[in-house]
Each structure stands twice: as C-alpha cells, then as structure tokens.
C-alpha cells in the first residue's frame, strides 16, 4: 500500500520544471533543425570548396575564390569568368545528402554581383541516382552592388540524399555567394527557417524552457572559437562562422565538415523558445574555453568584453527599442521584448579560475540586473571532488541556480531517486541541465534503450518530488543525426526526412505534459518510494485542472499490484486516464524502422472511493490522472 497525501502538499512544482537542452552537436543545428540544404553555402569552411564539386570541363581561372576582407564576417565569394562556349557549374552534396519531398517547393537563392548583362543560373535538383527531379532558371541582372536572386521550384520526387547542381550559363563575369536551398515548408512557414518535423517534436513536449546554445560549444575548443552571440545576429550573410567544437574525434567518430554557420543564431533561438511556449535560457561563455580541450582562460583584467556580452544580451532580449541592442531586435522583426529571466554563466567549468570569473559576472549582473537569475555550472562530476568544491563555493556565493550534469549508468539513476530528498532548501536551486542514462559508457556510445529511459523515469520521480528545489530539468543531448553524430544516446534521432522520439523522449514528455502545480507526498511505511521492491513513485495535484496525477515506475520483470490510499477529505471523481509506457525487454529501442515501438498507451479506467487499485506492467512507467472533487 502507498499513501498519497492529497491534502498535504509539500511544496509547489517549479513553473519552469521540464525543458529542452539544445546544442549544435550530432548535426543538431547545421544539417539538422536549421533547414538549409546546401553545405558550405558561403565558401567559408576550412577549405572553401568543402561540399562542392566542379561540373564540366572547367578551364583554369574560371572559378576563383576571392577573399575580400571588407565583407564583414563573410569575406570569401566565388568569382566566375566564363566564355560562351563552355558548360560549367558546381554541385553541392548537402549535409549527408539533401532530404527533399515530392510535391514540396524549394527556394534556391544566392547573392551575386555581375558586371556583364547576360548570365543566368540554372539549378537542378538530383536524386540519389543523379536523376533530375526539379529544375529552375534565374536570370541575373547587371549591377555593381551585391544583390539577391531567388527562384522557387517543386521537387517531383522524394529523395533522402538529393544533390544540387548550379550551372552558370551565358558569357561574362559574375561573383556569387550564399548559394542556398531551403524548403518553403518550414516551421511556421518562416523564410529560411527551421525543419518543421523536428520543431514539432519539441513543441509536443510542451517545454517550460529552452536552454541554448549548449553545451561545450558555448566554451569552444579555444577562446577564438567560443560561441559569441553577437556574431550570430543581424543579416545572415554577415554572420561569421566558426569550426564546431564537435568537429573533432569523439567516440571514434570524425566529422571534419562540422562548422557553425549561425543561420540559427540567438535571435532565432529566442524566437524558437517563444514559438514553443518556452522560457529562453541562454548560456554564455565565462572567459574559459572547454576544459576538455585547450582549457584556455582569458586574463581576469580582460574579462570586460565577456561581461559586456552578458549585459548586451539582456538588452537585446529585454531592452527598449530605443537602446542599441533592443533596436536590433526590433529591426530583426521582434519589437516586443523576449522577457529573459535567467542567464547561464559558463558550461561545465570548474576550478578556482571559474569561481573568480563567475564572481565578476555576478557582481555586475546583480548590480545592473537584479531581476535576472544567474545559473552557474557545476561541471560533469556531481558526485566527486570537483562537485564538492563547486557546491561549497557556489553556495557561499549565494548563486541562484546550479546546473548539474549527469551522464551515468542506469544503476546510478535508480539509486539516486532520493538525491534531493534532504537537500538544503536555503541555498541555490538546482537545474538538472544535462541528464541521460548511459547503458554502455565509458566503453562506447550508449543506445537510447528502454532500460535507459525507465531508469530516468525512476530518477525523475525524485526530481518531481523535489520540484520546489530542483526547478529545471532537461535531457541532453537533444538531437542525433543517424549519418553524422558524435554522441549517443540522444533524445530525438533524425535522418534527412524523418524524426522519432526515443523512449527517453516519451518519458520526459509524460512528465512535462502532467506537471501539476503542487507536490504531494507519496509514502510507503512512512518513507518516500525510492526503489523499495524496485518501485518508484511521485504525485502532484494540478490546481488548474483539479486532477490528481500519480507516477509509478515498476522496475520489476513481473507485474505488480499496487494500492494507492488517498489521504484526503476530498473524493476522486470516478473516471481516470491511465497512460503506460512499457516493454518486457529492457534492451529494446525505437528506430527509424520502428519509431513508435515504445510509445504511450492510454486507457480510461474507473477508480472508486479513496483507493486507486491497479496492476502495473513489468518494466513500466505509468501516469494516472484522476479528477478530484
């Protein structure tokens, strides 16, 4: 028997409890949610022709890469000098091919400048067998300044691995840059926007917050390649790309073509957060590069630029349109503020060098923006010495929120369901900013199995029970592209055309969709239910819908009969909803072939009186929602 203390709430669930961690890892942004299909559109990758192949018999000097330092952020362009009697062009391979769909429209665009009047561009979309499945022509007009040309055409077939040919026809000289191909059918129909199917899965989670842009890419492999938000806003052709921190050998996988073009920049992140009803939670570099890479630090007396970035970001998000950064936000299309409330300083940074730098940020932010809560990093080691050190220091500094990361085996998640039960309520709040149960680490990449997800579901009962002090939680990383990943497991897997949620996705989504407002103690023999007989439970009351919501994990290979005794003066109102995620094998996973192998099953049930009596499947996570009178 389990007692649910329906009339004795122990606290309020944080209003921003369940959210999303976004990082451009595993082709999450470029080649992923950012719907651009052309790789290296502005010739700024390490090698300017990466992703491109010359077509035709190209005489020497026909294609030149021009580097013009006057073109801010994007100095390289392609100069074409062409005689009438030759056929020349370029082919782009896309990010592991281009995913295109039959009957959908695609917009090709480029920036160009042409001295002579006669050139035209012809584009061809090819499928994986080099068959032409879409064409368009674009006449280029003469002019001394750069101009945009674009043309829309329809794909006649679906192809997961298309390519794009760009032919230059006529005779003369033309300079070209930002050769781009986007689907017209993006999230909310935004021009040059985001992949609709990927955003939809995020929106379906009903997330309370969106943390961006990472992760290690905040830090960069060195300080020169740290994430600098100011370089990611304004016209996209002026955003200066950098090498991705994950363009490295990791888990024995090398992705040498991984760059951050920042078409998905800070403005777009804020917009995405707003679109999906989530609070924007940006994390900024604290003056330290990734300590797993170079670990460079900026001298303390040169930290001003970094702190200024934080102050200016607050202005960009919240400032009046008469302020310089507020004005830019308005010019980009959003005069209304984004209502930023939280800001992270550093990601997985540690050591006294972190504390010194954090203190500088804290002092100035508290002086100038006491309304903004500061999130500090606790590193990756929430059990060991590093964590002890940080926990003590961050407490002493009275930091608002501490970001803890756990990539641990399932056994750790199961045994840590009580992690916050006795946590000091007077200090900082906790952001479980990156959690994921890793079935095979450290010997190799883990899979997103039911074992991983069910152990997370058990751990999350503990976060929910302590939802007054653990005020935010997000799984990490978010996306993995099956043809270009560095890190696994991930919450959502994609290829160029498809997307599916892992069992872990369904677990967090169930928590998020059944969040409630008040934490209700669930006891067994007077104790929290944290693994006795391999059962884990938590409960909340939703004051908005007047529902009691119980969550139970049965981590046994047998069904379990459980009785929830409701300790209340109220009555439960008969018809209830029971949602179950279950599988008798812990080793199964969803996949592109079977995307919904593990998915929630909903049934309507009736419970009478003050008892909820039911049988719970082997290896299952169940959510029961009962109206209360």
Q: Which residues are catalytic?
A: 348
Q: Is 215 in the site for ligand AHR (CB under 6 A)?
A: yes
Of the candidate spans 84-92, 201-209, 212-220, 529-537, the one that interacts with ligand AHR by CB under 6 A turns out to be 212-220
Q: Is 468 in the site for ligand AHR (CB under 6 A)?
A: no
Q: Output 404 or 547, the one with its CB closest to ligand AHR.
A: 404
Q: CB 503 → ligand AHR: shortest distance, Å?
A: 18
Of the candidate spans 48-56, 210-218, 534-542, 617-625, the one that interacts with ligand AHR by CB under 6 A turns out to be 210-218
H/E/C letters for each residue in 237-296? HHCCCEECCCCCCECCECCCCCEECCCCCHHHHHHHHHHCCCEEEEEECCCECCCCCCCC
Of the candidate spans 68-76, 108-116, 209-217, 581-589, the one that interacts with ligand AHR by CB under 6 A turns out to be 209-217
- Tell me how many residues contact ligand AHR (CB under 6 A): 13
Of the candidate spans 50-58, 93-101, 208-216, 593-601, the one that interacts with ligand AHR by CB under 6 A turns out to be 208-216
Q: Output 348 or 464, the one with its CB closest to ligand AHR.
A: 348
Q: Is 30 in the site for ligand AHR (CB under 6 A)?
A: no
Q: Is 22 in the site for ligand AHR (CB under 6 A)?
A: no
Q: Is 404 in the site for ligand AHR (CB under 6 A)?
A: no
Instruction: Provide the token pair at 414.
Output: 């199961």
Q: Output 110 or 476, the one with its CB closest to ligand AHR.
A: 476
User: Among residue numbers 344 through 373, which ones bind ligand AHR (CB under 6 A)?
Assistant: 347-348
Residues in the chain: 629
Give strand pairing partners of 404: 432
Q: CB 388 → ligand AHR: shortest distance, Å?
A: 19
Of 157, 160, 187, 244, the C-alpha closest to 482 is 160
Q: Output 377 or 622, the one with its CB closest to ligand AHR.
A: 377
Print the binding letters for residues 419-458 with ligand AHR: x by CB under 6 A, - otherwise: ---------------x------------------------
Give the residue, chosen from 34, 43, 487, 616, that forms a contact with ligand AHR under the rule CB under 6 A.
487
The rounded distance, in Å, linking the Cα atoms of 491 and 320 is: 37
Q: CB 477 → ligand AHR: shortest distance, Å?
A: 4
Of the candidate spans 116-124, 149-157, 214-222, 306-314, the one that interacts with ligand AHR by CB under 6 A turns out to be 214-222
Question: Can you say whether residue 55 is alpha, beta or left, with left for phi > 0 and alpha for psi between -120 and 50 degrees?
Answer: beta
The rounded distance, in Å, linking the Cα atoms of 93 and 97 is: 5
Q: CB 406 → ligand AHR: shortest distance, Å?
A: 10
Q: CB 216 → ligand AHR: shortest distance, Å?
A: 4
| b/e sequence 1-31, b meaning 16+ C-beta within 10 Å | ebbbbbeebeeebbebbbbbbbbbbbbbbbb
Q: CB 210 → ligand AHR: shortest distance, Å?
A: 15
Would you list the DSSP string of 27-45? TSTBTTTB----TTTTS-S
The rounded distance, in Å, linking the Cα atoms of 440 and 36 is: 34
Q: What are phi and psi of 541, to 5 degrees?
A: -115, 140
What are the Cα distances from residue 518, in Å, to 13, 162, 540, 626? 6, 51, 5, 15
The rounded distance, in Å, linking the Cα atoms of 396 and 389 is: 11
Q: Do 78 and 42 contact (CB within 8 A), yes or no?
A: no
Give strand pairing partners of 492: 479, 501
Q: Is 214 in the site for ligand AHR (CB under 6 A)?
A: yes
Residue with tokens 């067998």, as numbered in its chain: 129
Of the candidate spans 149-157, 211-219, 323-331, 521-529, the one that interacts with ligand AHR by CB under 6 A turns out to be 211-219
Q: What share of the chain is helix, strand, coil (3-state, %, to 5)?
A: 20, 35, 45
Q: CB 217 → ligand AHR: shortest distance, Å?
A: 7
Q: Output 479 or 619, the one with its CB closest to ligand AHR.
A: 479
Closest CB to ligand AHR: residue number: 215
User: Among residue numbers 86 through 105, which ones bind ligand AHR (CB under 6 A)?
Assistant: none
Q: Is 23 in the site for ligand AHR (CB under 6 A)?
A: yes
Q: Output 93 or 490, the one with its CB closest to ligand AHR.
A: 490
- The separation between the first and the last C-alpha atoms of the chain, rounded to the nearest angstrom, is 23
Q: Output 114 or 347, the one with its CB closest to ligand AHR.
A: 347
Q: CB 418 → ligand AHR: shortest distance, Å?
A: 25
Q: Is 470 in the site for ligand AHR (CB under 6 A)?
A: no
Sequence-distant (≥ 6) Cβ neighbours of residue 79 within 8 angstroms? 63, 64, 65, 66, 173, 174, 175
Q: Do 444 and 489 contact (CB within 8 A), yes or no?
A: no
Q: What are phi and psi of 417, to 5 degrees?
A: -65, -20
Q: Do 499 and 482 contact (CB within 8 A), yes or no?
A: no
Tell me whether the omega of the peptide bond preceding residue 215 falls within 30 degrees of 0, making it cis: yes
Print the binding letters for residues 378-397 with ligand AHR: x by CB under 6 A, - otherwise: --x-----------------
The rounded distance, in Å, linking the Cα atoms of 502 and 491 is: 6
Q: CB 303 → ligand AHR: shortest distance, Å?
A: 21
Q: Output 375 or 476, the one with its CB closest to ligand AHR.
A: 476
> What is the three-class DSSP state of 235?
coil
Q: Output 251 or 398, the one with its CB closest to ligand AHR.
A: 251
Q: Output 114 or 474, the one with its CB closest to ligand AHR.
A: 474
The rounded distance, in Å, linking the Cα atoms of 206 and 278 is: 8
Give the residue, chosen from 125, 126, 205, 216, that forms a contact with ligand AHR under the rule CB under 6 A.
216
Q: Is 477 in the site for ligand AHR (CB under 6 A)?
A: yes
The residues binding ligand AHR (CB under 6 A) are 23, 25, 214-216, 347-348, 380, 405, 434, 476-477, 487
């Amino acid at each position: 028997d389990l007692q649910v203390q329906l009339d004795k709430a122990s606290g309020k669930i944080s209003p921003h409890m369940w959210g999303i961690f976004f990082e451009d890892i595993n082709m999450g942004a470029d080649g992923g949610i950012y719907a651009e299909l052309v790789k290296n559109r502005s010739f700024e990758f390490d090698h300017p022709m990466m992703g491109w192949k010359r077509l035709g018999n190209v005489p020497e000097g026909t294609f030149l890469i021009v580097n013009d330092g006057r073109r801010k952020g994007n100095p390289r362009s392609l100069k074409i000098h062409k005689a009438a009697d030759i056929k020349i062009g370029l082919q782009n391979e896309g990010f592991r091919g281009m995913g295109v769909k039959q009957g959908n429209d695609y917009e090709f665009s480029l920036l160009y400048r042409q001295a002579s009047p006669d050139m035209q561009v012809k584009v061809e979309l090819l499928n994986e067998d080099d068959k032409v499945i879409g064409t368009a022509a674009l006449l280029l007009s003469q002019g001394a300044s750069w101009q945009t040309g674009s043309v829309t055409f329809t794909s006649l077939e679906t192809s997961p691995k298309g390519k794009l040919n760009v032919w230059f026809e006529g005779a003369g000289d033309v300079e070209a840059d930002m050769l781009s191909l986007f689907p017209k059918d993006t999230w909310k129909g935004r021009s040059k926007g985001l992949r609709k199917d990927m955003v939809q899965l995020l929106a379906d989670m009903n997330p309370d917050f969106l943390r961006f842009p990472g992760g290690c890419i905040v830090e960069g492999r060195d300080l020169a390649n740290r994430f600098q938000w100011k370089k990611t806003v304004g016209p996209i052709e002026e955003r200066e790309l950098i090498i991705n921190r994950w363009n490295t050998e990791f888990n024995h996988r090398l992705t040498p073509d991984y760059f951050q073009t920042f078409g998905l920049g800070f403005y777009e992140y804020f917009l995405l957060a707003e679109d999906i009803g989530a609070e924007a939670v940006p994390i900024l570099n604290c003056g330290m590069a990734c300590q797993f890479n170079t670990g460079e630090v900026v001298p303390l007396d040169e930290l001003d630029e970094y702190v200024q970035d934080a102050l200016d970001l607050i202005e960009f998000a919240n400032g009046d349109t008469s302020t310089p950064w507020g004005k830019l936000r308005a010019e980009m299309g959003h005069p209304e503020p984004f209502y930023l409330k939280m800001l992270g300083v550093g990601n997985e940074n540690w050591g006294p060098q972190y504390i010194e730098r954090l203190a500088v940020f804290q002092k100035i932010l508290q002086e100038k923006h006491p309304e903004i809560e500061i999130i500090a990093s606790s590193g990756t080691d929430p059990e060991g010495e590093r964590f002890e050190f940080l926990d003590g220091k961050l407490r002493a500094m009275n930091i608002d929120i501490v970001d803890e990361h756990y990539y641990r085996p399932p056994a750790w998640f199961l045994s840590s369901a009580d992690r916050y039960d006795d946590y000091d309520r007077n200090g900082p709040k906790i952001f479980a900013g990156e959690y994921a149960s890793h079935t095979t680490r450290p010997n190799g990449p883990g899979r997103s199995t039911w074992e991983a997800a069910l152990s997370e579901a058990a751990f999350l009962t503990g976060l929910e029970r302590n939802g007054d002090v653990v005020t935010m939680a997000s799984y990490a990383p978010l996306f993995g592209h099956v043809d270009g990943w560095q890190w696994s497991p991930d919450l959502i897997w994609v290829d160029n055309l498809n997307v599916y949620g892992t069992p872990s996705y369904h677990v967090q989504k169930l928590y998020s969709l059944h969040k409630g407002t008040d934490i209700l103690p669930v006891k067994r023999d007077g104790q929290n239910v944290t693994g006795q007989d391999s059962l884990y439970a938590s409960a909340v009351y939703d004051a908005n819908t007047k529902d009691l919501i119980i969550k139970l994990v049965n981590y046994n290979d047998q069904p379990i009969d459980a009785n929830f005794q409701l300790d209340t003066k109220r009555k439960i109102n008969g018809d209830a909803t029971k949602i179950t995620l279950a599988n008798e094998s812990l080793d199964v996973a969803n996949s592109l072939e079977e995307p919904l192998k593990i998915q929630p099953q909903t049934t309507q049930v009736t419970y009478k009186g003050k008892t909820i009596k039911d049988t719970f499947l082997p290896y299952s996570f169940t959510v029961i929602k009962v109206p209360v009178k």
